Amino acid sequence: MVEALIINGLLFGGMYSLLAIGFSLVFGVAKILNLAHTAFYMIAAFLAYIATMILGLPLLLSAILAIIVTSILAMVCYKLCFDRIKEHETAVIIVSVAIGILIQEVLLLIFSGHFRRIPPFVSGFMEIVGIRVAYQNIFAIAASILTLSGVWFLLTKTKFGIALRAVAQDREIANLSGINVSQICMITMGISGILAGIAAVIIGSIFLVSPLMWLTPLIIVLAAVVLGGLGSLKGSVFAAFILGFAEATVTCLIPGGSFLKGAISLSVMVGVLLIRPEGLFGVVFEEERL
Amino acid sequence: MVAMYKRKNYGFYSLVVFLIILMVAPTAFASPKIKIGVIGPMKFVAGQNHWWGALLAAEEINAAGGVMVGREKHEIELLKTDSNEMQNLTDAVSSMERIIKVDKVHFITGGFRTEAVLAMQDVAADHKRIFLGGSGSPGVTERLAKNYDRYKYFFRALSPVAVYFTQVNLFLLEMAGDKMKAELGITKPRVALVLDKIVVADPIVTFAQDMLPKMGMEIAGVWRTSPMANDLTSELTAIKAADAHLILTFLSGPSGAIFNKQWGELRIPAAPVGYNAEANALAHLQATGGMCDYVSIWGTFGGVKITDKTVPFFNKFIARAGEYPLSNAATYDAVYLLKEAIQRSKTLEVEAVIRELEKIEYRGASGIMAFYPRDHKWPHDLKTGPGYTTMLGLQWRDGKLVTVWPDGRAALGDKEWVGIKYEGTVDYNLPPWMITYWKKKK
């Protein structure tokens, strides 16, 4: 039982962290609460489905194309919609929800409510301490770790990463230092699109693709980002694993209540926020950033 | 010259008037059409089946001349309405209101989710429209028992009451359990109950917990899933850890699709049997990548000869819709039921049609259709069991859905089932990896 808890917790945590980190990046840098983030994840999944199952392209090529196109769409969306209204937070939230719903309805119109699938990169399963785990799930954990490492490297070891962190810390000073804030924000949006695309091609083959697939992860992503501390990438990753383990715990220990796993993991978030309102790694006051 | 001009004018205008009469006359003098509203979640497979079933029936009836009302023949006109009940129940109510008040339909068929059907039932009652609906919850027809005059317009023609398909679940479980005894020597199979947390599934848990020990089975555990669940790995892992041999399912939403996919991928050595709303469609085969092989579910249509109407309807549905007909496609029989009742009552008057529907016994594609009377605890529900609507046990095998039950044997000791086996039914098979696993474990 404990083994199942650990393995499933790692699986869910890895998956949620991939989604949460892209969301957190956009919020931290561009200060945009992009509720359409998981809708981009859904677009990437459908693009991968179209490329593999309809056009018959190889899986790796389909994945790369889906990720690139999603990234471009995210940047276009930023330029056309968010850039003009980013000073008005409420408007940004409403517009992002509207974009998400629009994407959902368009996909419903084209594909109806049928479920689709993306083939896995690796088929089959293995047994770990008596627990059956699909190879694709192990691949997903490894890909999550690799992607998170890549993001860490980008942010800490590259000039672009330094510019990005500068914008996240203080936009005005960054602007005065000669950093093109608007361009950084747009590129960050593109990176978040890439992360959503990576999540889609990996996770989409574990789950199923449908026009409603963006809603459940959105709640978990929001919970992870809030629990981890808004804008904290490290916090989002930790929080994603906490929520993943919370879900795995509920299913393993309370089989009759497994439908509550979403509610319980969100309750964990509420519980932590009551003790630490800024989240696990958030700052208490704005001045503390300096 | 002027006279010639005037004659030419008269001729021209006469021709125009004649052409107008020719265009208008067929519609002006045609019998008004019988309007039937088909309401359901049209972006989803349930609603699409509602539509296709009704459409095939309407086309056949119109091709044969229409419905005889008294001495006149009337064509059927279908109106397709998206209830959007999978996403928003309020939309279901507005859609129902619209087809009655704006589109002025005479009859309505469709409805899928219990919550939506209950609300639509109220709208139909308010406007005194006959509604041949779906859902399985006993509450839908228990309302008639409590307030017959208000709810008499509703007939549950698209599905038997949930209590019956609870029994069918157990019939299929008994069949699978017998197979386990015969092939693996397991005399007391352990059963995992996996049911969505929805109203209609609650009594099934209680019923199963009561009946399974009497059937010589043990309960390995109860898992209640969210119907919108997109991952059931944890549940499947726990089911394997509980050493379950069989899984009794009641999965009404996307949970059903992901369950079969992940069950097949992980080769969980427990055979699923029961209800899975997503698993009857050909699209399910693609969605799961063929991982649904050996999953057993119940359904209404299976390509076997329930009546002489079943196989022709089944083949026609696949040819037109490119899909297997689900239970929701019983709108085909619903439209024919309405035709029969109208013709017998010789009028479209609601009370007269209700009286005929209450006494009708119709040989449909889904079976012999008749309704329980008003003094029954579920008035206007389909009569079920041998001689009426039986449902079918189906199983995915090599990419096809085959019929495995009724298998001609007694069901839970009821000898009335002996001999009930439709032409085309095959034997139920356990998944081969499951046989290997349990033989090794011995």
- The reply to whether residue A115 touches residue B226, judged by beta carbons under 8 angstroms, is no
CATH T-level topology, domain A2-289: ABC transporter involved in vitamin B12 uptake, BtuC (1.10.3470)
Q: B6 falls in which pLDDT band (50, 70, 90)?
A: low
Radius of gyration of chain A (CA): 19
- Structure-block tokens of residue B75: 């064509």
Q: Is the dihedral of CA A172, A173, A177, A180 positive or negative?
A: negative
A126 touches chain B (CB under 8 A): no
Q: Does A68 touch chain B (CB under 8 A)?
A: no
A112, A119, A251 ranked by CB distance to B238: nearest: A251
Q: Which residues of A touch B289 (CB under 8 A)?
A: 117, 119
Contacts of B270 in chain A (CB under 8 A): none
Residue in A closest to B264 by C-alpha: A124
State the best of A115, A131, A138, A205 to mutate against chain B, taking most chain B CBs within 10 Å.
Answer: A115
Structure tokens at B251: 């999965």
Q: Does the distance separating the beta carbons of B86 and A255 come in below 8 Å?
A: no
Mean pLDDT to the nearest integer, A47-66: 96
Upper half-sphere CA count for residue A215 (Cβ side, 13 Å)? 11
Instruction: Note the pLDDT tens digit of each residue in A129-169.
Output: 878 888 998 888 888 889 889 988 998 899 999 998 888 88
* Cis ω before B406 (30° cut-off from 0): yes
Tell me: the pLDDT tens digits for B139-198?
999 999 999 999 999 999 999 998 898 899 999 999 999 999 999 999 999 999 999 988
Nearest chain A residue to B268 by CA distance is: A132
- Average pLDDT in chain B: 92
Distance separating alpha carbons of residues A26 and A231, to the nearest angstrom: 8
Minimal Cβ distance to B231: which of A109, A119, A207: A207
Query: Residue B26: is its pLDDT beyond 60?
Result: no
* Interchain pair A255, B241: CB under 8 A: no
- CATH class of the structural domain B34-159+308-369: alpha beta
Q: Name the token pair of B307.
A: 């009546």
* Res. A285 pLDDT band, cuts 50 70 90: very low
B209 Cβ under 8 Å from any chain A Cβ: no
Burial B69-90 (b: 16+ CB within 10 A, else e): beeeebbbbbbbbbbbbbbebe
B109: Cβ contacts below 8 Å, ≥ 6 apart:
B36, B37, B38, B39, B50, B54, B131, B132, B133, B157, B158, B331, B334, B335, B338
For residue range A85-115, list pLDDT tens digits in order: 888 888 999 999 999 999 999 999 999 888 8
For residue B24, the model assigns a pLDDT of 59
CATH superfamily of B163-299+406-441: Response regulator (3.40.50.2300)
Whole-number pLDDT of residue A290: 32
Task: State how far residue B156 is from chain A, nearest Cα, in angstroms.
Answer: 25
Report long-range pairs for B215-218 (Cβ below 8 Å, ≥24 apart): B215/B170, B215/B173, B215/B174, B215/B177, B215/B412, B216/B177, B216/B187, B216/B188, B217/B173, B217/B177, B217/B188, B217/B189, B217/B190, B217/B191, B217/B246, B218/B188, B218/B189, B218/B190, B218/B191
Listed by start position, the domains of chain A span 2-289
Q: Which of B234, B239, B248 to mutate to test the interface with A (most CBs of A within 10 A)?
A: B234
Within chain A, residue ranges assigned H as helices are 2-30, 37-49, 59-77, 83-85, 89-111, 135-157, 159-169, 171-176, 181-203, 215-228, 233-253, 261-275
Of A136, A137, A256, the CB nearest to B223: A256
CA distances (Å), origin B154, targets B55, B376, B386: 21, 14, 24
State the average pLDDT over residues B343-365. Answer: 96
Residues of B in contact with A200 (CB under 8 A): none
The torsion angles phi and psi of B411, rounded to 5 degrees, stand at -110, 115
pLDDT tens sequence across A194-244: 999 999 998 888 889 999 899 888 888 888 888 888 778 888 888 999 888
- Beta-carbon contacts of A241 under 8 Å, excluding residues fewer than 6 positions away, are A9, A10, A13, A14, A16, A17
- With a threshold of 0.80, does the pTM exceed it? yes
CB contact under 8 A, A113 and B235: no
- Chain A residues inside the 8 Å CB shell of B196: 259
Alpha-carbon span A192 to B189, nearest angstrom:
50
Say which residues have a Cβ less than 8 Å from residue B76's Cβ, sequence separation at least 6.
B33, B34, B36, B58, B61, B62, B66, B67, B335, B339
Question: B114 and B91 in contact (C-beta within 8 Å)?
Answer: no
Interface test with A, best of B219, B263, B265 (most A CBs within 10 A): B265
Phi, psi dihedral angles at B293 (to 5 degrees): -55, 135
Token couple for B255: 């949970």
Assess A256–B contact: CB distance below 8 Å, yes or no.
Answer: yes
Q: Does B325 touch chain A if contact means CB atoms closer than 8 Å?
A: no
How many CB pairs below 8 Å do chains A and B form together? Answer: 113
* Chain centroid to CA A275: 25
**Residue B51 touches partner A, C-beta closer than 8 Å:** no
Report residue B375's pLDDT band, with 50, 70 and 90 as the boundaries: very high
pLDDT reading at B394 higher than 80:
yes
What does each C-alpha distance from B12 to A101, B8, B16, B128, B412 come to in angstroms? Answer: 57, 6, 6, 51, 81
* Range in A30-39, A263-272, B9-18 with the lowest mean pLDDT: B9-18
Residue among B194, B204, B237, B441 with most chain A CBs within 10 A, to mutate: B237
- Per-residue pLDDT of A221-235, as tens digits, reads 888 888 888 778 888
At B30, the pLDDT band (50, 70, 90 cuts) reads: low
Residue ranges, CATH 3.40.50.2300, chain B = 34-159+308-369, 163-299+406-441
Residue A90 sits at the chain B interface (C-beta within 8 Å):
no
Q: How confident is the model at residue A289 (pLDDT cuts 50, 70, 90)?
A: very low
Is B205 within 8 Å of B195 (Cβ atoms)?
yes
Of chain A, the percentage scoring pLDDT greater than 70 comes to 96
List for chain B the helix, strand, coil content (%; round to 5). Answer: 45, 20, 35
